[in-house]
Amino acid sequence: MRSATLRVLLWRRALDPHVGRWSLPGGRLRPDEDVETSIRRQLAEKVDVRQLKHVEQLAVFSAPDRVPGPRVVATAFLGLVPSDVDPEVPEDTEWHEIDALPRTAFDHREIVLGARDRLRSKLSYTNIGFALAPTEFTVSALREIYSAALGYKVSATNLQRVLSRRGLLVPTGHTSPPGRAGGRPAALFSFPGAGIQVTDPFAVFRPPPKRR
């Protein structure tokens, strides 16, 4: 997530099939590594991304015709990078807004949208926001992150109330530097811990009702 938009890292294919189209980074699992180790290795080697804060299995994609030629079954994973991280990437790799995806290879658009929906769902009932936020953040900045991920504007007051009730906002005792207009410095918060937890199994974030 950058610039108040949810983005995905894609690289342009240099070989057939689907040469020139954008695709998700991926590769084969080595005999001596588990899946998460493989994911982190391949992202580091292929697109120089080393700051993943959360990784989880998304789904298995096994349609017989998902790729031309011999059948290939793919296991997709959701990996999240904090919003304040802007890794250098190779020339053939770019961050793309999920709401404005370019033409993708194979079924990668379906995979990306499935990952977006998984993230939106988990923002409601887990603490997965820790994987998108900087180490310290203001409530206003966190609202921008949640709004970008959920696809609609979130109330900072409501977000603070909900996350505080769940024990997910820890005051750091620090404040952010004042802006150009001056004013009172905003308090900085952090998430407790860095592991995924179910915080409210029945909670659902919903967009505000449309005005008539």
Query: Could you state, in order of their start, the residue ranges of all structural domains in the chain?
Result: 7-124, 125-190
Closest CA to 11 of 87, 88, 76, 94: 94
Task: Indicate the class that CATH gives domain 7-124.
Answer: alpha beta
Which two tokens mark 157? 């007051």
Could you please report the per-residue DSSP string of 5-33? Answer: B-EEEEEE--SSSSTTSEE----PPPTT-
Listed in sequence order, the residues at least 6 apart from 37 whose beta carbon sits closer than 8 Å to its beta carbon are none
Give the pLDDT of residue 181: 67
Alpha helices in 126-207 (DSSP H): 139-150, 156-165
Q: Is 50 helix (H, G, I), strand (E, B) or coil?
A: coil
Alpha-carbon distance values, 192 to 28, 138, 163, 196 (Å): 35, 15, 11, 11
Query: What burial class does residue 90 get, using C-beta atoms within 10 Å of its C-beta: 0-12 exposed, 13-18 middle, 19+ buried?
Result: exposed
The pTM of this model reads 0.90
Closest CA to 192 of 135, 150, 109, 140: 135
**Is domain 125-190 annotated with CATH 1.10.10.10?**
yes
Give the pLDDT of residue 208: 80
- Same fold across 7-124 and 125-190: no
Q: For the chain, 212 residues long, give each residue's pLDDT as a single digit of tens.
A: 555 789 999 999 999 999 999 999 988 889 999 988 999 999 988 888 888 999 999 999 999 999 998 999 999 999 999 999 888 888 999 999 999 999 999 999 999 999 999 999 999 999 999 999 999 999 999 999 999 999 999 999 999 999 999 999 999 999 998 766 667 889 999 999 878 999 998 887 888 877 66
Give the pLDDT of residue 197: 93
Q: Is 102 helix (H, G, I), strand (E, B) or coil?
A: coil
